[in-house]
C-alpha cells in the first residue's frame, strides 16, 4: 500500500521514524509530510532517509500543487503524532499549511490519527468535540494511551506505540471502519452468529479468601473478557459473562453478567450455564490454588513467627467444560506463557479438549495483564494458526470472535 505519514509538532514526533521503518518493513511505500513545528522534534534528513522519499513540508514549493499529486499518490494517510492543533484544524476545515491542506484534499480515503498531547488538553471539551467530529467522518483514532507524559504528569495523552499504529494500519487494509471511526469487522450480516446463539465468557481474576479481610488474587483487569463479551454481543450472540472482581462495567441488552469472587463460584456458574451455550471463551485468570481454610475473623499476628498458608488446588473450569463438551459446542481457552509458548499451548489444547487456544506471550511488549493492548496467536485443533499484530483488546476480541464464532 502507498501510505503518507503526516507528522505534527509534538514530542512524540521522535517516534515517527520508527513507524515509517515498521511500515517499510511490512512492504509499504511511504512518503512523509511534516508541519514546520514537527521539524523542531525530528529532522528532515531522518524522515527522508527512513522513507526513501523527499519530505513534503512546503505548500508553496514544487509548483504549489503537491498536495493534490500527493493526495492522488496516497492510499492511506496516517497522522502520528496528531496534536490538538491539527485535530482542531481538520475538524473545522482549516487548511493553512502543507499537511492540513493535504488532509482536507484527502477526503474519501482512509485516514488514521494517533493523537498525542497533555492529558488536560485531551480532556478539553473542544478537543473531545473535534475528535467526535472526525470520528463521525470515518477518521479512525489509535490511542491516545494512558501513561507518563513528556510534561512529567501521568494521564491519558501519550501517543500509541509505533508497533500498535502499524498494526492498526495493517488491520485497516482488511477491516472496515464504522461511522464512529472505530474498527468494525462485524457490521455485515455475514459476520453475525446464527440467530439465538448463546456464548459463555469468563473474565477477570478470582479472589481466594484467607480470612474475613484478606485474599489471594492476581493482576487480571478483566478487560480482555469484557471486550470478548462485547464483540460477541455485537455479532448478535446472547452472552453469559461470568466475571471475577473488577471495576469494569458493561451495558448491553444481550450481555447477562454474573459476578463471582472465587474460582469455585466461577466453576459453579460456568458449569451451570455451559450446557445451554453454543460455545465458551474462558479468558479469566483463575487462581490455581486456594487456602485450605478460610478464617471467619481477621487473623491476628502471632509475634515474630512466620506464617504458613496451606493451599489446595481449585477445580479446572476449562478442563471440566472440555470433558462436558458436545460435538456441537466450541470451547476456547487462553494460555499465558513465558517460554516454550507454542508447545505448551498445543499441549493444553489437547489435554483440555479445546477447539482453539489463544496464546499470549508475556515476552511480547504491550501484551498481558492490566494493559489496553494485546498480541495473540489463535491456534485451532485442526492445525489453523492466526497471529495478530499488537492491537487494542477490543480489536483482538473482534479477531478472536471472527475466528472462533463466525
Q: 291: helix, coil or strand?
A: strand
Please state the separation of Cα 153 from the chain's center in Å. 24
Cα separation, 314 vs 322, whole angstroms: 16
- Residue 344 CB, nearest approach to ligand CTP (Å): 7
Nearer to ligand CTP, 101 or 202 (CB): 202
What residues have CB less than 8 Å from 251, skipping those under 6 apart? none
Q: Report the residue from 187, 316, 364, 403 that binds ligand CTP according to the rule CB under 6 A.
A: 316
Given a contact cutoff of 8 angstroms between Cβ atoms, the answer to whether 55 and 32 are in contact is: yes
Lay out the site mask for ligand CTP across 191-220 (x = CB under 6 A, - = otherwise): -----------x------------------
Q: Which of these ranges, 21-29, 148-156, 313-321, 398-406, lies near ligand CTP under the rule CB under 6 A?
A: 313-321
Q: Which of these ranges, 13-21, 109-117, 316-324, 381-389, lies near ligand CTP under the rule CB under 6 A?
A: 316-324
The set of catalytic residues is 151
Site for ligand CTP in 251-270 (CB under 6 A): 263
Given a contact cutoff of 8 angstroms between Cβ atoms, the answer to whether 257 and 241 are in contact is: yes
Q: Which of these ranges, 59-67, 157-165, 213-221, 330-338, lies near ligand CTP under the rule CB under 6 A?
A: 330-338
Site for ligand CTP in 334-363 (CB under 6 A): 334-336, 348
**Beta carbons within 10 angstroms of residue 145's beta carbon:** 20
> Does 314 engage in binding with ligand CTP (CB under 6 A)?
yes
The three three-digit cell numbers of residue 344, written as one number: 505448551
Given a contact cutoff of 8 angstroms between Cβ atoms, the answer to whether 229 and 241 are in contact is: yes
Cα separation, 106 vs 68, whole angstroms: 9
DSSP H or E segment with residue 115: strand 111-115
> Does 112 engage in binding with ligand CTP (CB under 6 A)?
no
- Residue 318 CB, nearest approach to ligand CTP (Å): 4
Q: Report the residue from 30, 116, 284, 359 that binds ligand CTP according to the rule CB under 6 A.
A: 284
Whether the bond between 144 and the residue before it is cis, its omega within 30 degrees of 0, is yes
* Residues touching ligand CTP, count (CB under 6 A): 15
- Residue 241 CB, nearest approach to ligand CTP (Å): 13
Residue whose C-alpha is closest to residue 336's, from 312, 316, 353, 361: 361
Binding site for ligand CTP (CB under 6 A): 202, 263, 282, 284, 286, 288, 314, 316-318, 333-336, 348
Amino acid at each position: 500500500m502507498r501510505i503518507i505519514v503526516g507528522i505534527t509538532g509534538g514530542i512524540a514526533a521522535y517516534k515517527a521514524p520508527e513507524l515509517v521503518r515498521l511500515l517499510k518493513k511490512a512492504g509499504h511505500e511511504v512518503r512523509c509530510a511534516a508541519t514546520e513545528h514537527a521539524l523542531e522534534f525530528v529532522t528532515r534528513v531522518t524522515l527522508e532517509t527512513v522513507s526513501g522519499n523527499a519530505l513534503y513540508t512546503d505548500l508553496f514549493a514544487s509548483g504549489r500543487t503537491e498536495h493534490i499529486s500527493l493526495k492522488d499518490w496516497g492510499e492511506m494517510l496516517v497522522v502520528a503524532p496528531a496534536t490538538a492543533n491539527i485535530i482542531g484544524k481538520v475538524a473545522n476545515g482549516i487548511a493553512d499549511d502543507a499537511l492540513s491542506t493535504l488532509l482536507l484534499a484527502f477526503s474519501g480515503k482512509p485516514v488514521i490519527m494517533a493523537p498525542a498531547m497533555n492529558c488536560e488538553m485531551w480532556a478539553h471539551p473542544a478537543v473531545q468535540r473535534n475528535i467526535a467530529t472526525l470520528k463521525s467522518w470515518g477518521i479512525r483514532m489509535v490511542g491516545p494511551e494512558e501513561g507518563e507524559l513528556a510534561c512529567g504528569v501521568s494521564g491519558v495523552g501519550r501517543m500509541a506505540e509505533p508497533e500498535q499504529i502499524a498494526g492498526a494500519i495493517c488491520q485497516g487494509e482488511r477491516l472496515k471502519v464504522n461511522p464512529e471511526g472505530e474498527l468494525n469487522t462485524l457490521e455485515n450480516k455475514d459476520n453475525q452468529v446464527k440467530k439465538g446463539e448463546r456464548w459463555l465468557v469468563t473474565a477477570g481474576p478470582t479472589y481466594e479468601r484467607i480470612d474475613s479481610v484478606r485474599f489471594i488474587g492476581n493482576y487480571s483487569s478483566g478487560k480482555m473478557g469484557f471486550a470478548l463479551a462485547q464483540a460477541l454481543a455485537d455479532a448478535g450472540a446472547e452472552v453469559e459473562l461470568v466475571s471475577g472482581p473488577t471495576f469494569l462495567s458493561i451495558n448491553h441488552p444481550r450481555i447477562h453478567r454474573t459476578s463471582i469472587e472465587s474460582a469455585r463460584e466461577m466453576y459453579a456458574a460456568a458449569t451451570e450455564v455451559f450446557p445451554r451455550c453454543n460455545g465458551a471463551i474462558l479468558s479469566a485468570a483463575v487462581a490455581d490454588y486456594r487456602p485450605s481454610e478460610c478464617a471467619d475473623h481477621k487473623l491476628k499476628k502471632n509475634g515474630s513467627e512466620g506464617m504458613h498458608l496451606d493451599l489446595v488446588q481449585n477445580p479446572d473450569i476449562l478442563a471440566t467444560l472440555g470433558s462436558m463438551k458436545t460435538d456441537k459446542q466450541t470451547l476456547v481457552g487462553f494460555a499465558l506463557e513465558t517460554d516454550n509458548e507454542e508447545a505448551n499451548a498445543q499441549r493444553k489444547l489437547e489435554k483440555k479438549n479445546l477447539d482453539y487456544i489463544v496464546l499470549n506471550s508475556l515476552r511480547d511488549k504491550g501484551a498481558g495483564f492490566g494493559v489496553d493492548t494485546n498480541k495473540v496467536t489463535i491456534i485451532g485443533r485442526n492445525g489453523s494458526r492466526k497471529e495478530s499484530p499488537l492491537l487494542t483488546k477490543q480489536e483482538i476480541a473482534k479477531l478472536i470472535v471472527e475466528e472462533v464464532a463466525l
